[in-house]
């Protein structure tokens, strides 16, 4: 093993050079850059996270007179989110845009952002992420080789499946539900009576199509852009988690840059947040409209029953002092 990199990380590194060679378009727009930062995202081109990081790259490119830029590898070209996190930690990837769920197991403080029914609304979540709780979680990444640049929205996650409408947690009983590889999501699905099946994002569509799983949970925009709506036709408005996106940079790489470039990257990442939110709000509404028009059946759930079923696992996590304090800080912003 080279420099402690796992075989998955090494595979990701190989993918990095293949993708670099294949990406003619990105190369064209960055001619003249001396330093090109590589960024990974599992989402398709045009997804709000991909657009936000690309916008960041354009601003940085302009501000440095073409000296510094960002090349975004979208659609999971560089592999799974867990691989991207490790690649960035060891400096083989510069920027990883991943969901908080992919970070839960390695960074326990992030649990607070994924736990069920912590936020009341998008406005509440944004207040918390823009305030002290958000800053504290971003800071926590530095302990393991990463710099937390920013949080992006990810809407609210809801359950969907191809078997039956879900109104009560009891309707999830026995359903094989894909969850991201996070103990929080595994625990939550189990607490609600489902059979949790952790899979990486890239595997979900075909797992639904081949009936390996009965359903999954995610936000409207992902449900639409991943085309999972074509195979899972029952959507339940459980809104059980807001689990936002994290934009992370390799600490090793950031530290290697001149101070002015470091400042520019940090400041531009923060400026990309309102840019992303505006796009997010639009895409989320458009995605919902598109899948409903296509015939996906949306049911309102018994929210109280969902909250009650999730309460014991939430409380178990709140026994941790740091999570408990963050929870109270976040609830005070409701
Ligand atoms: C999406 C998120 C992705 C990925 C995916 C998943 O909402 O934007 O980064 O984590 O969920 O469930 O794997």
The distance from CA 47 to its chain's CA centroid, rounded to whole angstroms, is 12
Distance CA 241, CA 154 (A): 10
Q: Is 94 in the pocket of ligand 1 (CB under 6 A)?
A: no
User: How confident is the model at residue 137, as a pLDDT?
Assistant: 98
Residue 158, token pair as written in the block: 């809801």
10-residue mean pLDDT series, the chain (334 residues): 42 48 43 82 98 98 97 98 98 98 98 98 98 98 98 98 98 98 98 98 98 99 98 98 98 98 98 98 98 98 98 98 98 98
Ligand 1 atom at minimal distance to the Cα of residue 221: 7
Residues for the chain: how many in total? Answer: 334
Closest C-alpha to 37, from 299, 261, 324:
261
Q: Which of 180, 202, 243 to mutate to test the pocket of ligand 1 (most atoms within 8 A of CB)?
A: 180
User: How confident is the model at residue 185, as a pLDDT?
Assistant: 98
| Burial class, 329, CB count within 10 angstroms (exposed 0-12 / middle 13-18 / buried 19+) | middle
Local structure of 179: helix, strand or coil: strand
Local structure of 46: helix, strand or coil: coil
User: How confident is the model at residue 2, as a pLDDT?
Assistant: 36
User: How confident is the model at residue 34, as a pLDDT?
Assistant: 83
Read off φ and ψ for residue 105, nearest 5 degrees: -70, -35
Q: Rg of the chain's alpha carbons, rounded to an integer?
A: 20
Quote the ligand 1 centre to 201 CA distance (angstroms).
6
Distances in Å between the alpha carbon of 301 and those of 159, 232, 237, 275? Answer: 10, 17, 6, 32
**Considering the entire predicted model, what is its pTM?**
0.92
Quote the ligand 1 centre to 101 CA distance (angstroms).
8
Q: Is 99 in the pocket of ligand 1 (CB under 6 A)?
A: yes
% helix, strand, coil for the chain, step of 5: 55, 15, 30
Q: Is 101 in the pocket of ligand 1 (CB under 6 A)?
A: yes
List Cβ neighbours of 278 (8 Å cut-off, separation of 6 or more): none
Local structure of 92: helix, strand or coil: coil
List Cβ neighbours of 247 (8 Å cut-off, separation of 6 or more): 52, 53, 95, 96, 97, 148, 149, 150, 151, 152, 269, 272
C-beta of residue 100 within 8 angstroms of C-beta of residue 245: yes
């Amino acid at each position: 093993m080279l420099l402690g990199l796992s075989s998955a990380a090494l595979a990701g590194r190989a993918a990095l050079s293949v993708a670099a060679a294949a990406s003619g378009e990105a190369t064209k727009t960055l001619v003249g850059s001396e330093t090109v930062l590589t960024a990974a995202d599992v989402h398709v081109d045009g997804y709000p996270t991909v657009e936000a990081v690309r916008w960041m790259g354009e601003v940085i490119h302009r501000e440095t007179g073409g000296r510094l830029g960002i090349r975004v590898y979208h659609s999971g070209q560089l592999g799974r989110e867990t691989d991207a996190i490790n690649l960035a930690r060891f400096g083989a990837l510069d920027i990883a845009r991943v969901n908080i769920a992919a970070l839960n197991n390695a960074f326990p403080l992030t649990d607070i952002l994924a736990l069920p029914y912590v936020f009341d609304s998008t406005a509440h979540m944004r207040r918390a992420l823009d305030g002290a709780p958000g800053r504290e979680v971003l800071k926590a990444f530095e302990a393991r080789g990463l710099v937390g640049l920013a949080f992006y929205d990810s809407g609210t996650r809801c359950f969907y499946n191809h078997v039956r409408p879900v109104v009560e947690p009891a309707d999830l009983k026995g359903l094989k539900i894909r969850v991201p590889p996070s103990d929080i999501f595994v625990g939550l699905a189990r607490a609600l009576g489902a059979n949790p099946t952790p899979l990486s994002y890239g595997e979900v569509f075909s797992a639904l199509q081949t009936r390996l799983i009965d359903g999954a949970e995610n936000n409207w925009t992902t449900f639409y852009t991943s085309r999972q709506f074509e195979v899972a036709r029952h959507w339940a408005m459980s809104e059980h988690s807001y689990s936002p996106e994290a934009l992370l940079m390799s600490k090793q790489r950031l530290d290697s840059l001149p101070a002015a470039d470091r400042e520019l990257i940090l400041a531009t990442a923060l400026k990309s947040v309102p840019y992303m939110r505006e796009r997010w709000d639009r895409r989320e509404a458009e995605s919902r409209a598109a899948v409903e028009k296509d015939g996906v059946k949306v049911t309102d759930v018994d929210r109280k029953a969902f909250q009650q079923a999730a309460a014991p696992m939430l409380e178990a996590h709140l026994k941790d002092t740091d999570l408990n304090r963050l929870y109270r800080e976040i609830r005070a912003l409701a």
